[in-house]
Copies of this chain bind each other. A is one copy, B any other.
């Protein structure tokens, strides 16, 4: 028997806080996934998802994590020997490059140091120099460093000019950013249920362009569960090929309703506003962000610890004394940084509570924070 703590404020880069209306949707009665009711639900969810991706093409929902969704994109577009340009600037873009190589692709990695992203010129050069380029695969928001690339649209153009596919991992960003996939020429864009959508984890959503769909149908992948041609074939009849996680569909349905009530534009503004406040707060606390100016993420705020503040102690105090959970560092940043997920249900109240807990904890741990200054920052932000 596992003992569960009090409900904590999850300021994590996923899973994020799940509002009651979304969590409670999970206990709707179980239904047959081969029924008119499920078909109506799936069709409705698909239409709402299209608004999120701003696409007139199809959106497929898979029972898997975001990493599963990204791997599905890889297996469906990459065949052994295919050349793929992939910017690498942290843990999740490294995972992406590895997944492409596992599937038999040859990657042309365009690397950047943690905290930065490659320049568009570097990517352009890689695209130009790669003969027979099959695809550009790109992480939009590198969750491990809190960096978001500002030039998806330009990469879409480069890929299109090169006759290559363009796939984007927007797992931790879509909804916190607007990514109009049709306009920007994104063939497959992947996101997850547990980030800016504020639903529980376990579902991944993929937009699929007509061009990509046609290719996959003609050249189906070797994987079955993640075969997007099969998914699209069943979706056309309002079904999923395999038993979906019905309860999570209920929750995501409710989460999509909330998104549409709020409006995508307002949701993006809300994420941008709270991220700006967090960046002002960390500056006011004399802390350094991991991400360079100009590529700082709207959804993941990665912060370097000041000298003498221990990662484990800091996060344990935040959790035990303030019931707030932030993420640890990843990869080379492990122990040297923490990450605030500011996504999904995030509000001023969340920002204030997190800021207060950070300030009090840092003060206790020997990194002085002037509460007056921080109060002023929060006051000006609201």
Contact = CB atoms under 8 A, between A and B. Distances in A.
Interface stretch (A83-91, A96-104, A127-135, A154-162): A96-104
Contact of A4 (B3, B37, B95): B37
B247 A251 contact: yes
Interface stretch (A8-16, A114-122, A350-358): A8-16
Contacts of A241: 67
A192 B33 CA distance: 15
Residue among A2, A27, A34 facing the most chain B CB atoms (10 A cut-off): A2
A107 B222 CA distance: 16
Interface string A189-200: 000101000001
B253 A2 contact: yes
Contact of A202 (B6, B24, B247, B257): B247
B328 A34 contact: yes
Nearest to A226: B225
A65 B224 CA distance: 12
A40 B3 contact: yes
Interface string A236-279: 00000111111110010100010000000000000000000000
A60 to B, nearest CB: 14
Nearest to A16: B30
A343 to B, nearest CB: 13
A6 to B, nearest CB: 8
Interface in A202-227: 202, 222-226
Interface of A: 1-8, 10, 12, 14-18, 23-24, 26-35, 37, 40-41, 44, 63-68, 71, 95, 98-99, 102-104, 192, 194, 200-202, 222-226, 241-248, 251, 253, 257, 325, 327-328
Given A68-B242, A245-B248, 11 more contacts: A1-B257, A2-B37, A3-B40, A15-B246, A23-B26, A34-B327, A67-B242, A71-B223, A194-B243, A202-B244, A223-B223
